[in-house]
Protein backbone atom coordinates (compact mmCIF):
# COMPACT_ATOMS: atom_id res chain seq x y z
CA UNK A 1 0.00 0.00 0.00
CA UNK A 2 1.98 3.06 -1.19
CA UNK A 3 1.74 6.24 0.85
CA UNK A 4 -0.59 8.68 -0.82
CA UNK A 5 -3.14 6.00 -1.75
CA UNK A 6 -6.66 7.40 -1.32
CA UNK A 7 -8.22 6.06 1.87
CA UNK A 8 -4.87 5.13 3.43
CA UNK A 9 -3.66 7.24 6.37
CA UNK A 10 -1.35 6.70 9.32
CA UNK A 11 -1.43 8.02 12.85
CA UNK A 12 1.74 7.87 14.96
CA UNK A 13 1.41 6.39 18.42
CA UNK A 14 3.03 8.58 21.07
CA UNK A 15 4.08 8.11 24.72
CA UNK A 16 5.52 4.63 24.16
CA UNK A 17 7.65 3.19 26.95
CA UNK A 18 8.87 0.30 24.79
CA UNK A 19 10.77 0.18 21.48
CA UNK A 20 11.11 3.94 21.66
CA UNK A 21 13.83 4.03 19.00
CA UNK A 22 11.33 3.32 16.23
CA UNK A 23 8.11 5.07 15.28
CA UNK A 24 4.98 2.94 15.67
CA UNK A 25 1.88 4.01 13.76
CA UNK A 26 -1.71 3.01 13.43
CA UNK A 27 -2.54 2.19 9.79
CA UNK A 28 -6.01 3.26 8.73
CA UNK A 29 -7.58 1.82 5.57
CA UNK A 30 -10.95 3.27 4.58
CA UNK A 31 -12.25 2.15 1.18
CA UNK A 32 -8.65 2.11 -0.05
CA UNK A 33 -8.28 0.39 -3.42
CA UNK A 34 -5.16 -0.90 -5.14
CA UNK A 35 -4.45 -1.95 -8.73
CA UNK A 36 -3.71 -5.61 -9.45
CA UNK A 37 -0.05 -4.64 -9.97
CA UNK A 38 0.23 -3.96 -6.22
CA UNK A 39 -0.32 -7.63 -5.33
CA UNK A 40 2.83 -9.44 -4.16
CA UNK A 41 4.17 -11.46 -7.11
CA UNK A 42 4.22 -15.27 -7.27
CA UNK A 43 2.08 -15.89 -4.18
CA UNK A 44 -1.63 -16.31 -3.59
CA UNK A 45 -3.50 -15.19 -0.45
CA UNK A 46 -1.74 -14.61 2.86
CA UNK A 47 1.24 -16.84 2.09
CA UNK A 48 3.44 -13.88 1.02
CA UNK A 49 2.99 -11.70 4.12
CA UNK A 50 2.99 -14.71 6.45
CA UNK A 51 6.26 -16.02 5.04
CA UNK A 52 7.79 -12.56 5.69
CA UNK A 53 6.56 -12.74 9.28
CA UNK A 54 8.05 -16.20 9.64
CA UNK A 55 11.47 -14.80 8.72
CA UNK A 56 11.09 -11.89 11.16
CA UNK A 57 10.06 -14.26 13.97
CA UNK A 58 13.05 -16.44 13.26
CA UNK A 59 15.28 -13.36 13.67
CA UNK A 60 13.57 -12.53 16.95
CA UNK A 61 14.31 -15.90 18.50
CA UNK A 62 18.01 -15.12 18.09
CA UNK A 63 17.83 -11.45 19.01
CA UNK A 64 16.21 -12.01 22.38
CA UNK A 65 19.03 -14.37 23.36
CA UNK A 66 21.36 -11.39 22.95
CA UNK A 67 19.15 -9.20 25.15
CA UNK A 68 19.03 -11.94 27.80
CA UNK A 69 22.79 -12.47 27.63
CA UNK A 70 23.48 -8.77 28.20
CA UNK A 71 21.21 -8.76 31.25
CA UNK A 72 22.75 -11.96 32.61
CA UNK A 73 26.29 -10.65 32.19
CA UNK A 74 25.36 -7.30 33.74
CA UNK A 75 23.81 -9.04 36.77
CA UNK A 76 26.77 -11.42 37.13
CA UNK A 77 29.26 -8.56 37.12
CA UNK A 78 27.14 -6.50 39.49
CA UNK A 79 26.80 -9.44 41.91
CA UNK A 80 30.57 -9.60 42.24
CA UNK A 81 31.09 -5.90 42.88
CA UNK A 82 28.09 -4.87 44.99
CA UNK A 83 28.73 -5.58 48.68
CA UNK A 84 26.09 -5.98 51.39
CA UNK A 85 26.49 -7.41 54.89
CA UNK A 86 30.24 -7.54 54.37
CA UNK A 87 30.39 -9.60 51.19
CA UNK A 88 29.51 -9.45 47.49
CA UNK A 89 25.82 -10.17 46.91
CA UNK A 90 26.96 -12.93 44.51
CA UNK A 91 28.15 -14.86 47.57
CA UNK A 92 24.55 -15.22 48.82
CA UNK A 93 22.94 -18.52 47.83
CA UNK A 94 19.73 -16.83 46.71
CA UNK A 95 21.66 -14.65 44.26
CA UNK A 96 23.60 -17.65 42.99
CA UNK A 97 20.35 -19.55 42.42
CA UNK A 98 19.04 -16.66 40.31
CA UNK A 99 22.25 -16.51 38.29
CA UNK A 100 22.29 -20.26 37.73
CA UNK A 101 18.65 -20.33 36.62
CA UNK A 102 19.34 -17.43 34.27
CA UNK A 103 22.33 -19.24 32.79
CA UNK A 104 20.34 -22.47 32.32
CA UNK A 105 17.53 -20.75 30.43
CA UNK A 106 19.93 -18.54 28.49
CA UNK A 107 21.92 -21.49 27.20
CA UNK A 108 18.79 -23.55 26.52
CA UNK A 109 17.37 -20.66 24.47
CA UNK A 110 20.65 -20.37 22.54
CA UNK A 111 20.55 -24.12 21.83
CA UNK A 112 16.98 -23.83 20.54
CA UNK A 113 18.15 -21.02 18.23
CA UNK A 114 21.16 -23.03 17.02
CA UNK A 115 19.04 -26.10 16.41
CA UNK A 116 16.37 -24.18 14.50
CA UNK A 117 19.13 -22.45 12.52
CA UNK A 118 20.48 -25.82 11.42
CA UNK A 119 16.97 -26.96 10.48
CA UNK A 120 16.52 -23.74 8.50
CA UNK A 121 19.80 -24.32 6.66
CA UNK A 122 18.59 -27.82 5.78
CA UNK A 123 15.21 -26.48 4.62
CA UNK A 124 13.36 -28.49 7.30
CA UNK A 125 12.02 -25.65 9.44
CA UNK A 126 8.23 -25.12 9.63
CA UNK A 127 6.21 -22.14 10.96
CA UNK A 128 5.39 -24.30 14.00
CA UNK A 129 9.09 -24.71 14.76
CA UNK A 130 9.48 -20.94 14.57
CA UNK A 131 6.52 -20.53 16.96
CA UNK A 132 8.26 -22.92 19.36
CA UNK A 133 11.43 -20.82 19.30
CA UNK A 134 9.74 -17.43 19.39
CA UNK A 135 7.43 -18.36 22.28
CA UNK A 136 10.14 -20.01 24.38
CA UNK A 137 12.99 -17.62 23.75
CA UNK A 138 11.05 -14.39 24.24
CA UNK A 139 9.34 -15.69 27.37
CA UNK A 140 12.59 -16.92 28.91
CA UNK A 141 14.54 -13.81 27.87
CA UNK A 142 11.97 -11.67 29.67
CA UNK A 143 12.25 -13.84 32.80
CA UNK A 144 16.05 -13.67 32.68
CA UNK A 145 16.01 -9.88 32.36
CA UNK A 146 13.48 -9.52 35.17
CA UNK A 147 15.62 -11.72 37.37
CA UNK A 148 18.67 -9.60 36.50
CA UNK A 149 16.67 -6.53 37.49
CA UNK A 150 16.12 -7.97 40.99
CA UNK A 151 19.87 -8.55 41.41
CA UNK A 152 20.53 -4.92 40.49
CA UNK A 153 17.60 -3.98 42.73
CA UNK A 154 17.10 -0.18 42.73
CA UNK A 155 19.96 0.32 40.27
CA UNK A 156 18.11 -2.03 37.94
CA UNK A 157 15.41 0.50 37.18
CA UNK A 158 17.77 3.17 35.86
CA UNK A 159 19.13 3.58 32.35
CA UNK A 160 22.63 3.49 33.83
CA UNK A 161 22.38 -0.26 33.18
CA UNK A 162 20.82 -1.89 30.09
CA UNK A 163 18.41 -4.13 32.01
CA UNK A 164 15.18 -2.13 32.34
CA UNK A 165 15.51 -1.01 28.70
CA UNK A 166 15.67 -4.64 27.56
CA UNK A 167 12.72 -5.57 29.78
CA UNK A 168 10.60 -2.77 28.37
CA UNK A 169 11.53 -3.67 24.80
CA UNK A 170 10.90 -7.37 25.38
CA UNK A 171 7.36 -6.53 26.53
CA UNK A 172 6.68 -5.43 22.94
CA UNK A 173 8.50 -8.42 21.52
CA UNK A 174 6.25 -10.71 23.58
CA UNK A 175 3.29 -9.14 21.74
CA UNK A 176 4.44 -8.40 18.21
CA UNK A 177 5.32 -10.93 15.52
CA UNK A 178 2.61 -13.16 16.96
CA UNK A 179 1.54 -12.79 20.57
CA UNK A 180 2.65 -15.41 23.07
CA UNK A 181 -1.00 -16.51 23.27
CA UNK A 182 -1.29 -17.09 19.52
CA UNK A 183 2.03 -18.98 19.34
CA UNK A 184 0.73 -21.14 22.19
CA UNK A 185 -2.36 -21.89 20.12
CA UNK A 186 -0.21 -22.67 17.06
CA UNK A 187 1.68 -25.25 19.11
CA UNK A 188 -1.52 -26.48 20.76
CA UNK A 189 -2.95 -27.17 17.33
CA UNK A 190 0.29 -28.81 16.17
CA UNK A 191 0.26 -31.34 19.02
CA UNK A 192 -3.48 -32.01 19.28
CA UNK A 193 -4.64 -31.47 15.71
CA UNK A 194 -7.40 -29.28 17.15
CA UNK A 195 -7.74 -25.54 16.49
CA UNK A 196 -8.54 -23.22 19.42
CA UNK A 197 -8.30 -19.82 17.72
CA UNK A 198 -12.00 -19.09 17.80
Ligand X SMILES: Cc1cc2nc3c(=O)[nH]c(=O)nc-3n(C[C@H](O)[C@H](O)[C@H](O)COP(=O)(O)OP(=O)(O)OC[C@H]3O[C@@H](n4cnc5c(N)ncnc54)[C@H](O)[C@@H]3O)c2cc1C
State the binding string over 32-61 for ligand X (x if CB under 6 A, else -): ------------------------------
Task: Work out the number of other CB atoms within 10 angstroms of the CB of residue 78.
Answer: 21
Give the nearest distance from C-beta 50 to ligand X in angstroms: 11
Could you give the residue numbers annotated as active site? Answer: 177
Report the residue number, 49 or 66, with the smaller CB distance to ligand X: 49
Residue with Cβ nearer ligand X (154 or 194): 194
Number of residues that bind ligand X (CB under 6 A): 12
Long-range own/partner contacts, residues 62-67 (CB < 8 A, 24 or more apart): 62/113, 62/117, 62/137, 63/173, 64/109, 64/137, 64/138, 64/141, 64/170, 64/173, 65/106, 65/109, 65/110, 65/113, 65/137, 65/141, 67/141, 67/145, 67/166, 67/169, 67/170
Is 19 one of the binding residues for ligand X (CB under 6 A)? Answer: yes
CB burial class (10 A; 0-12, 13-18, 19+) of residue 55? Answer: exposed
Give yes or no for residue 197 binding ligand X (CB under 6 A).
Answer: yes
Which residue lies nearer to ligand X by CB, 24 or 101?
24
To 5 degrees, how large is the angle CA 184–CA 190–CA 197? 50
Site string for ligand X, 167-186 (x = CB under 6 A): -----x--xx--x-xx--x-
Return phi, psi of residue 158, to 5°: -100, 160
CB of 173 to ligand X, least distance (A): 9
Residue 172: CB minimum distance to ligand X, A: 4
Residues 6+ apart with CB under 8 A from 195: 185, 189
Select from 1, 7, 10, 24 the one that contacts ligand X (CB under 6 A): 24
Q: Which is nearer to ligand X, 73 or 171 (CB)?
A: 171
To ligand X, the closest distance from the beta carbon of 59 in angstroms equals: 13
Check: CB of residue 116 under 8 Å from CB of residue 58.
yes
Q: 53 or 91: whose CB is closer to ligand X?
A: 53
Q: Which residues bind ligand X (CB under 6 A)?
A: 18-19, 24, 172, 175-176, 179, 181-182, 185, 197-198
Amino acid sequence: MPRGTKGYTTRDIHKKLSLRASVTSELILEDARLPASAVLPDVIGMKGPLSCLNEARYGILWGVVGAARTCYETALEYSKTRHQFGKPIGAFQLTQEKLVNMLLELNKAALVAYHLGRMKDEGRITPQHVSFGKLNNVREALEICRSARTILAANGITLEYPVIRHINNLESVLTYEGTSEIHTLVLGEAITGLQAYR
